[in-house]
Structure 1
Amino acid sequence: EHWHELLNPEFKGRSAILDVPSIGIMDAAMAIESRGDIKYGDKGNMTKEEIDKTIKILIDAKKSGQFRAFWTTFDESVNLMASGEVVIQSMWSPAVTAVRSRGIPCYYAPLKEGYRAWASCIAPMRHLTGLKLDAAYEYLNWYQSGWQGGFIAKQGYYSSVPETARKFMTDDEWGYWYDGKPAKGDIKDPYGNLMEKAGRVRDGGAFWERMGKVACWNTLMDESRYMVRKWNEFVSA
């Protein structure tokens, strides 16, 4: 299975793309390069020429009716997939969890080209001093202490400190989410809703396998402002 399935005419009118320029264009680039249209020097930092070529391909695809929707919110992505209006899209992990918790099949395909990855980083602002700086570090220490990592793990996300997250997960949850092992019991989301039956294995396998297949990371491009303008031309075309 390949990224270019997003642009496959077989899914005409039932494909969707995220309308956040810095993320949507990366998904598009993965699909376009997979199809053989463009060989990017660095998908995370495109040149103006690469941006122009990418947007032209997307506009042509849009005008041909390839895309059912451009979504911007969590609920939109869930409802599009759960209703059957869309059958293929790039989704946030908690959104896949939400669809599955409704008893509707939804999974991550093991794409040959690898994953588009992102990371959420938190750091104190440099103007902080005294009590405010102490409070910021206190929050950061709590954030990495395990509860947050254990919570997001049950949505499919990874913690930057897995060792502390593990303290807030059962052995079976850790085995399913991190080690890629078959679930010994039913797997539930962070809110207690049934998501997977015993015996299921996580899409993509273990943490080590998934992170070893990252093809590109979301970044702020040098030509970010230009890219956003061109992306808006695509959405409004």
Structure 2
Amino acid sequence: LREIGLSLTEDPRILSRFKEDTGITMEGNSQILGNQITFWLQNFKDYDVNQVNFSQNAPLLAQGAIQSYPTADVPAWNDQVIELFRLPDVPGYSSKSGWPLAGTYTTEAMEAESYDAFIGTPTWFGFDAFGYLRGMAQGDVASYGAIFDPANKGHATLLNEPITAVMKAATYLQGTGEATFTGALNNLTRDDLAICFDFLNQKKQEGQFRLFWSDFGQLVDLLVAGEVWVGDFWASACAAAVASGADAVFVNNPTEGSNGWIQGATVSAATQHYPEVMQFINWYLDSGVPGAILGVQGYYSPRPDRVEPILSEQQTTVDGVSDWDYWYEGADPEARPSLADRLTAVADWQAYPDEYEEYSRLWTAFTAA
């Protein structure tokens, strides 16, 4: 089998364990997030699985590069999957956008409320927010507002990617009551976008942003050098910066809410190995191995029951506190709230918006100005 994904999903520990357990080889090809849509559309006939952020699934499905498939083909997708991915109106569900269900199941399965056909199978998920350098960032560092606070002028940053960056600005504007949007936070209308970009363009003209970051390594270097104080940092980048001596803090539950995201397995429309692909996806959930490897990096599995036995046997540096206690159960709630707590503080989920071309056009003009 062959797949593409982020470097996290193409971890040799995961792929080698899959071969050990099943006898099937999975060849991984790591692609950065911004390249994945274009790469897949050009090369999907040469691959079996795309481990993709679900905010990118819509154009892949629309152009026939991935295929939907029955949930019954993945036996591990059963009533042990957390309710977040099986039921509406539970903590973490957005009634305005329908996510995360709308990103997981086909339109037909959503309309029938049967939830029996996948666009893709969620294999890990998390929550995006922002971070800051302690002792340098000023203002209310519990709020996205710190990114836009004049006290941090010249030392703020945003990821150079329109879907996530615009969603951060919209989450701040709506959460503080500065704006009311017609669309969901992950699917803004053109009028909504005009409000967001009026705000962002004004901040840029005032010199708020040091630059717009593009990749993990660049962000870590900027934090260690102290060039940026606050921005939409990834939790993993904050951790890497701390390991290099920077006092970086990731804000788990911002005042205005986090932006959830899903990574998962989608199936190439051209695969000749459908049964083996289903075996791979099922193993990803049922073995608990990928979930445990990703869990100590801050990410969650839709099947925590399979991850718990592994992480419960692994101890943190705090005596008597297991990795399960720390990463899932909130043993140190200041540093790492429990999954249950984090699900109550989701503003919405990253998705591919209907007006993506307008997002992209306005973002390109914004960054180039």
TM-score (norm 2): 0.56
Q: Equivalent of 1:28, from 163, 169, 185?
A: 169
CA distance in 1, matches of 2:168, 2:366: 14
| Aligned 8 A contact 2:256 2:347 in 1 | yes
Q: Which residue of 2 aligns with 1:230?
A: 362
CA distance in 2, matches of 1:111, 1:214: 9
CA-CA distance at 1:179 after TM superposition: 0.5
CA distance in 2, matches of 1:32, 1:203: 26
| Aligned 8 A contact 2:234 2:250 in 1 | no
Structure 1's consecutive aligned runs of 4 or more residues displaced over 4 angstroms after TM superposition are none
Q: In the alignment, does 2:293 pair up with 1:143?
A: no
Q: Which residue of 2 aligns with 1:154?
A: 296
CA-CA distance at 1:127 after TM superposition: 4.5
Q: In the alignment, does 2:257 pair up with 1:114?
A: yes
CA distance in 2, matches of 1:105, 1:48: 39
Report the more deviating stretch, 204-213 or 34-43: 34-43
| Aligned 8 A contact 1:117 1:218 in 2 | yes
| Aligned 8 A contact 1:6 1:31 in 2 | no
CA distance in 2, matches of 1:94, 1:154: 10
Structure 1 residues 1-237: aligned runs within 5 Å: 1-41=142-182, 42-109=184-251, 110-129=253-272, 132-144=273-285, 145-169=287-311, 170=314, 172-182=322-332, 201=333, 203-237=335-369
Q: Which of the pair is proportionally richer in strand? A: 2
Amino acid at match of 1:56: D
CA distance in 1, matches of 2:176, 2:148: 9
| Aligned sequence identity (%) | 27
| Aligned 8 A contact 1:4 1:30 in 2 | no
Give the aligned length: 217
**Structure 2: gaps of 5 or more residues:** 1-141, 316-321
CA-CA distance at 1:4 after TM superposition: 1.7
| Aligned 8 A contact 2:260 2:350 in 1 | yes
CA distance in 2, matches of 1:37, 1:233: 23
CA-CA distance at 1:34 after TM superposition: 3.8
CA-CA distance at 1:126 after TM superposition: 4.3
| Aligned 8 A contact 2:155 2:209 in 1 | yes
Deviations 1:111-154 (Å, cap 9, x if unpaired)?
A: 2111111111213234445xx10221122123222121111111
Amino acid at match of 1:211: L
User: Does the residue aligned with 1:123 lie in a helix, a strand or coil?
Assistant: strand
Considering only aligned residues, what root-mean-square deviation do their CA atoms show, in Å? 1.8
